[in-house]
A and B are shown apart, each in its own frame.
Chain A
């Protein structure tokens, strides 16, 4: 029943928004409806915390400690982004960049996007997981090209084609998985159900699973933004409206990584070897290295932080690759804090770009003087994402580093180098943007600073004190992913 609420509210909302999305109060209603989704997901999380994994509607949906935390995170960031999107889109509207029809499309597609991500997380069926991830791409394609500029249409096309092709490979991987499972579970519905697959993971044909995992890695890896399949990511982040950049970075990448990790659990069981781990370590490191060195020459601020997302997804992939409860714990924590921090940064950056009238970093100056609180939001966000203590990213990156020293010592210098380069680039760039002389400025509508600081506050909290129930929860998930 709870699962029904979590999924039903966004579907209902998207229908409502399709008709009323252009009204003055639409953004408030949008935020209110996402609050509904978030509350439902919280209740669901408490339920799972109390009683353990839940199966709902026969075996259609499955909620365990691994996905329920992602469900609440998705619903939460969905809610705060809706809060941010109100003022942001209002300013865009006053600048004449969006009209009534486009606002209807925007709000409606936003809700569908949330729905597809939640469905991907909650579904027990790996086929439906694939279908809804593809649906998430489709829901956001038209959002990336929302402004109808040349660059945005090009970015959206690239996103559509690259993710479409990539995810087709994941479908082939899923077919192979089904094929291997069908011989044990028999044909019919059950052979793609996660709960059944998990039980028979030691009996699956190793050769088939090996090939299946490679296809899954290429497919879902495209959506995670792993190098060399990351080309769509900076374009889509830079050219779309900022609330969409925030949810793409903060949520979609996580969901894709979730899909990949589900695959990894099965392959690890079947293979009894470290193939999946090695592949993920390799791809993770490569993504980090390429991403941080690509940051150096960026001129566009949203593009800079898009590359930073690739870097952090690389860290999480690397940590999952290391395996073991502690590294997996670090990876889960990193997914959470990255998602919160990065969306907060995108919120500040979005408003900063609106004030400066451009996304080019050279022309964004003196944010501290123009809108002091926004300047502070960006500075703190940058500190957090760079892994400065006491923010949560520090805790997770520190754990990853410690585990790397233990499990794969050769990778430690590469990790440190990447963190150092990222630090240099982002610190320098953000400093240039916030300092400098400027006169106080005002946006035509007060900026949404509340979500920025709520996210940063949570990241700070996670860095200083991890609530016991949350720690327990991560540990459960980590043990189970192993």
Chain B
């Protein structure tokens, strides 16, 4: 077994996993762009904290770097970029009109049940100390996916997209103690370039459609 495996540590990671899932639900229900960004930053924080604890429990030095990275990218840089964009595009007061929050929530619960049952055979095969959390990671991925489908604003879709990546990273850490360093760096690079591109995109959309509301996106539906 790994050097520092202790019940307390495992309980901590479990708790953080629960927070992550809770925040995924919160994002599903959140209406205001700024609160969504805040939830996203919090999710990033809990994610990096959980990676840090797993690093301590398992003694994998790579994971410390990964935790540091995640913190820099998901807690500081991306929320900053998102907030800056929101202010500069002057959409901080935008309110998403969500249809049927209760139905979305029930769907979300269904997704969690599905993820856990799908992850059960995987967890049994895992040898990591935190293996029971693979289901949580998968649930976060699918919940963010659901959040993206139910949104109509460009900014909120992107936040859902980034939150999805959080869920993936969480699964990777808990199933395997993280992917090889070069792959994790590559993924981080993709996320970073992706965020620059959607930043450019927001301005293009705004310039052409005079709004960031995707309900104006209808031309391509027909032909």
Contacts and interface: CB of A to CB of B under 8 A. Distances in A.
Interface of A: 125, 127-128, 130-132, 134-135, 138, 141-142, 145, 148-151, 153-158, 160-161, 164-165, 168, 171-172, 174-176, 178-180, 182-183, 187-189, 191-192, 205, 207-208, 211, 235, 239, 297-300, 303
Question: Which label, helix, strand, loop or mixed, suits the secondary structure of the B interface?
Answer: helix
Interface stretch (B10-18, B20-28, B65-73, B201-209): B201-209
B151 to A, nearest CB: 10
Interface in B101-154: 118, 121-122, 125-127, 138, 141, 145, 148, 154
A150 B168 contact: no
Given A141-B197, A160-B197, A171-B187, A127 B168 contact: no
Given A125-B182, A164-B194, A211 B122 contact: yes
Given A157-B201, A157-B214, 12 more contacts: A125-B182, A149-B208, A153-B201, A157-B154, A160-B198, A161-B148, A175-B175, A205-B125, A207-B125, A208-B125, A239-B220, A300-B223
B176 A182 contact: yes
Nearest to B193: A138
B161 A192 contact: no
A168 B168 contact: yes
Interface residues of B, number: 46
B190 interface: yes
B46 interface: no
A178 B182 CA distance: 14
The 5 closest A-B pairs by CB, nearest first: A127-B183, A131-B186, A207-B121, A179-B175, A179-B176
A134 B175 CA distance: 23
Contacts of B213: none
Contacts of A299: 223
Nearest to B124: A207
A142 B219 contact: no
Interface of B: 60, 118, 121-122, 125-127, 138, 141, 145, 148, 154, 157, 161, 164-165, 168, 171-172, 175-177, 179-180, 182-183, 186-187, 189-190, 193-194, 197-198, 200-201, 204-205, 207-209, 214, 217, 219-220, 223
A158 to B, nearest CB: 7
A148 B206 CA distance: 11
Contacts of A151: 219-220
A150 B208 contact: yes
Contact of B145 (A156, A165, A192, A300): A165
A127 B125 contact: no
B194 to A, nearest CB: 6
Contact of A188 (B164, B180, B197): B180
B161 to A, nearest CB: 6
Contact of A175 (B157, B179, B193): B179
B204 A145 contact: yes
Contacts of A150: 208-209, 219
Contacts of A134: 190, 194
Contacts of B189: 131
A293 to B, nearest CB: 15
A156 to B, nearest CB: 7
B161 A161 contact: yes
A372 to B, nearest CB: 30
B138 to A, nearest CB: 7
A97 to B, nearest CB: 15
A212 to B, nearest CB: 9
Given A208-B125, A298-B223, A157 B176 contact: no
B188 to A, nearest CB: 10
B183 A157 contact: no
Contacts of A180: 125
Contacts of A132: 186
A142 B220 contact: no
Contacts of A207: 121-122, 125
A175 B137 CA distance: 12
B176 A178 contact: yes
Given A153-B204, A208-B122, A192 B183 contact: yes
A187 B122 contact: no
A104 to B, nearest CB: 14
B194 A157 contact: no
A286 to B, nearest CB: 22
